[in-house]
Amino acid sequence: MASVNNTTNTSTTSSYSYLQYKNKIGGLVSGMDVDSIMEKLMKAESAQMEKLQQQKQKYEWKRDAYREVNTALDSFQKGIFDNYGLKSSWNAKTVSASSSAVSATATSSANGTINITEAKMATAAQSIIDFSALGFTADTTMASLGLTSSEGSFSISAVDDSGSLIEKKISYKATDKISDVMSKINASGVGVTAIASKGSLSLTANVEGTVIVDGVDVGSIQITNDTNGLFAKLGVLAEGKEGNILINKGTNVTETTLGTSGYIVANGVKIEGTSNKYTVSGYQLTINENIQAGNAPAKITSTTDTDKIVDKVKEFVETYNGLIKDLNTRVSEKKNVDYAPLTDAQKAEMTTDEITKWEAKAKAGLLKGDSTLNNVLSSMRTTLSTYGSDSNGSNDMLFKIGITTSKTYTDNGKLEIDEDKLKAALEDDPDIVSRIFTGDSSTGAEGVISKLRTTAQNAVSTIKNTAGSESSSSDLTYSLGKTITSLDDKITDWKDRLKDIEERYWNQFSAMETAIQKANSQSSIFDSY
């Protein structure tokens, strides 16, 4: 007599099994392939849940596609502002100087010729202290100087390029050496070079000149708030004094040089300065040598580097066309209706490579005809095709500098550039490209970059409301996330329901096998007579 045993199944789980474990009775008595029957039954029962899984997968893919678009749009709006949205972006001036006595660079506003007929250089302040007279070395510690506090500090100020004092606070410990404190001054960025050698210490301002307040020279290096009187002990300052180290110098200062201001005479106008740097008519000048009156003047001129501007315009066009191509591809990409998202059961029967290839085809056309992307494309085309016609009376138009929209329908708004026309426009008006791209302050016209950036930023915001971002705190904060969460809940409910259904089927088969076994047992009794 055949027997029926309940055994725990440890073989590979069926693609349509939802039980973590189950006690199942095989068709040993009935001769039926129960596993195969169960697979077909549960596949039929799972059909509705699989539709939900496929819907969820489509929404997740669409969410991810939207996020890819947002990454591209955000990079675009930031990139065009950084590279093309500032006046300085279009500063392509080549500067020449007739004398090495003056170095010059030009801002975008540089114009005309500057003749410097006279120049007097500013000088930097310096103070040198003799360590030998004091009995110190660079390795002497703060404690050895007789400083009783475990810590100390002071403020040091020095003149910067603008002629103002910049102040830094320096803190030290009793165990620090004199050379350590000098290193902290150098690292502070205050603009002072401090050197402590075996026999001496020097403090030198990095910038020439001095600071004049109400007609009084307040110095280019100052020490204040010296909590332990360190600089008096070092002989830099007189005992009980602080401030200008060259005026209130200590008795062991062996050499001092006062910082002095300078001046230039540019196109007949005398300009005094506290350093050797000047800004005149958009030129940034650095005086390298004194120029005596009556000697040959230093002549500064500039010209617009047309080729550099042309290359930058071409770079912008390529950047814009790259974005347009990506968006157009997404909204026009054909859907593969024969490739639906794979269900969990289908994936279980496929290799990783097969899944990847299938899903690549299934993802095609996710954003086909998407209204948000079409609106972005339309807004950008409108901005470029109509720019200048509504710019507060400005007649700066993109077509004037050779930029037009392709007339080929399949190009979908791609920009084209006529380099010859662009070069001719720059020769006629060197500032026209800068005005068009960054705006015209004289008319209040907004630049084309600002308009494009606003369009992209608005699109990023709209898409974020739909698809969220990687940093979204919850799926419930954006519309697609809410849909995905709802589907997830429904799928979970279905899995619980399918567990119960599967359990019921197994119980029914078990009851059937038990009944057959019982009938066989009764039949065998009669057969024994």
| Residues comprising the chain, all counted | 529
485's tokens: 């969460």
pLDDT of residue 11: 39
pLDDT band at 133 (very low <50, low <70, confident <90, very high): confident
313's tokens: 């315009």
pLDDT of residue 217: 57
Q: Which residues pair with 8 in a beta bridge?
A: 23
Instruction: Say if CB 273 and CB 163 are below 8 A apart.
Output: yes
If you ran DSSP here, which 8-state letter would residue 249 be given?
B
pLDDT of residue 33: 79
pLDDT of residue 22: 55
Which residue ranges make up each domain of the chain?
A: 69-87+307-466, 93-120+262-304, 126-257
Instruction: Say if CB 57 and CB 341 are below 8 A apart.
Output: yes
Average pLDDT of the residues of the chain: 85
Distance CA 154, CA 194 (A): 15
Reply yes or no on whether the pLDDT at 178 is more than 50.
yes
Distance CA 164, CA 183 (A): 23
Give the CA count within 13 Å in the CB-facing half-sphere of 124.
Answer: 16
Distance CA 328, CA 408 (A): 14
Dump pLDDT digits (tens) for 364-378: 999 999 999 999 999
Reply yes or no on whether the pLDDT at 395 is more than 80.
no
Closest CA to 20 of 8, 7, 37, 32: 8
Distance CA 208, CA 277 (A): 9
26's tokens: 């095989």
Lowest-confidence pick of 31-35, 53-57, 346-350, 471-475: 31-35
